[in-house]
Amino acid sequence: MQTPTRTTLHWWGTLFYVPVLYGLGWLSARPLALIFPQWRPDQVNLAGVVVALLLLLLTLPWRLRRSWGVEHPWQELGIVVPTAAGLRAFLRGFLKAAALLFGVVVVLLLSGQSQWQGQLTAGQLLNAVALLVGAGFAEELLFRGWLWGELELLGGRQRAIGLQAAFFALVHPWYQLPAIEAIGLLVGLTLLGLALALQRRADQGALWGSVGLHGGLVGGWFALQSGLISVPATGPVWLLGPGGANPNPIGGLLGWVGLAGLILVRRRWWN
């Protein structure tokens, strides 16, 4: 990933760009509650997120040309790359996600915290794939694509990698948890943000490796919890992470160790 030449970029634009798009998406989805009264509030909110994502996709090229001074926005974001290179990057990221989840499952099974069930319906599999593609692409485009690029222009290459990880962690709903669990999740999310950034650097700027790693973790863990393994609701939070019956291993020791190891392997890409 090459740093573009700074032109008209300002901190206030970076701070308000995505919140404004999210607000427009939220407002545009409100009438859907009247048109489809059977929709739940979370379904209406999800529709607003989809609209916000579409607005992001439509406006990003204009913003990068105007504020970053680049001629090829999608190449700069790591989206448009040679097909073979993009596929290799995606597979590398996905295999790392599979390896991390495999380690979690092995520890859970050997410690007696979980049992293998091996059940997964077609609907659950489709949901896992949707999370892999949707969550992986959307969040990586936002954080390791747009935000990281803007932070490099505004604060420099060295500070940007830590800042993007901090922003990534802070926007997740960690604040809904008890204090100790919230801190654990914040640490895990920060480590994940760093690992995803190093993955993109290792892939020579292609974003698809980060998409594979991020989406693989989200979609893979959903598939595991949906029926492949049993996860006890009373499992140790320090090991499994917060969430009770739906723990997030990113916030526990298993996630910390796996992500820290991934960062250690990729440490030469830090600078």
> How many residues does the structure list for the chain?
271
Segment 7-35, tens digit of pLDDT: 578 899 999 999 999 999 999 999 988 89
Number of structural domains in the chain: 2
Torsion angle defined by CA atoms of residues 125, 127, 132 and 137, in that order, rounded to the nearest 10 degrees: 150
Domain co-membership, 117 together with 173: yes
Report residue 263 CA to chain centroid gap: 16
pLDDT for 7: 57
Share of the chain above pLDDT 70, in %: 97
1: in domain? no
Poorest-pLDDT segment among 80-89, 139-148, 228-237, 242-251: 228-237
In a domain, 241, yes or no: yes
State residue 4's pLDDT score: 46
Residues 70 and 118 in one domain: no
The pLDDT score that the predictor gives to residue 175 is 87
C-alpha 15/C-alpha 9 separation (Å) is 11
pLDDT at residue number 3: 47
Going from the C-alpha of 136 to that of each of 38, 196, 216, the distances in angstroms are 29, 11, 8
Q: Percentage of the chain surpassing pLDDT 90?
A: 77
| Residues 63, 186 within the same domain | no
Do 162 and 264 have their domain in common?
Answer: yes
CA 59, 65, 70, 71 dihedral sign is positive
Does residue 31 lie within any of the structural domains?
yes
What does the CA dihedral 234, 235, 237, 241 come to, rounded to 10 degrees?
-110
Q: Tell whether 90 and 221 lie within a shared domain.
A: yes
The whole-model pTM stands at 0.93
Which of 9 and 88 is assigned the larger pLDDT?
Answer: 88
pLDDT-based confidence at 2, cuts 50/70/90?
very low
192 and 242 part of one domain: yes
Mention every residue, 6+ apart, whose C-beta is less than 8 A from residue 135.
214, 215, 218, 219
Which pLDDT does position 92 carry in this prediction? 96
Of 76, 91, 126, the residue that ends a domain is 76
Query: Is there a domain that residue 2 lies in?
Result: no
98 and 218 in a single domain? The answer is: yes
Residue 113 lies in a domain: yes
Which class for 82: exposed (0-12), middle (13-18), buried (19 or more C-beta within 10 A)? exposed
Q: What value, to the nearest 5°, has the Cα angle with vertex 110 and ends 108 and 111?
A: 65
**Which of 29, 45, 76 is where one domain is finished?**
76
pLDDT at 51: 95
pLDDT of residue 225: 92
115: three-class secondary structure by DSSP: strand
Q: How confident is the model at residue 6 (pLDDT cuts 50, 70, 90)?
A: very low
CA distance 229 to 56: 37
- Residue 190 above 60 pLDDT? yes
Q: Give CA–CA dist 126/122, Å, rounded.
A: 6
* Residues 107 and 233 both lie in one domain: yes
Report the alpha-carbon distance of residue 150 to residue 224 in Å, rounded.
36
Residue with token string 């993955």: 199
| 36, 159: one domain | no
Looking at the fold, whether 67 and 191 belong to one and the same domain comes out as no
Clarify whether residues 135 and 110 are in a common domain: yes
**Same domain, residue pair 41 and 95:** no
CA of residue 246 relative to chain centroid, distance: 18
19 in a structural domain: yes
pLDDT digits (tens, 9 = 90+) for 62-78: 999 999 999 999 999 99
Would you say residue 244 lies in a domain?
Answer: yes
Q: How far apart are CA 146 and CA 62, in angstroms?
A: 12
Instruction: Name the burial class of residue 205, with classes exposed (0-12), middle (13-18) and buried (19+) by CB atoms within 10 angstroms of its CB.
Output: middle
Last residue of a domain, one of 76, 100, 127: 76
Boundaries of domain holding 18: 7-76
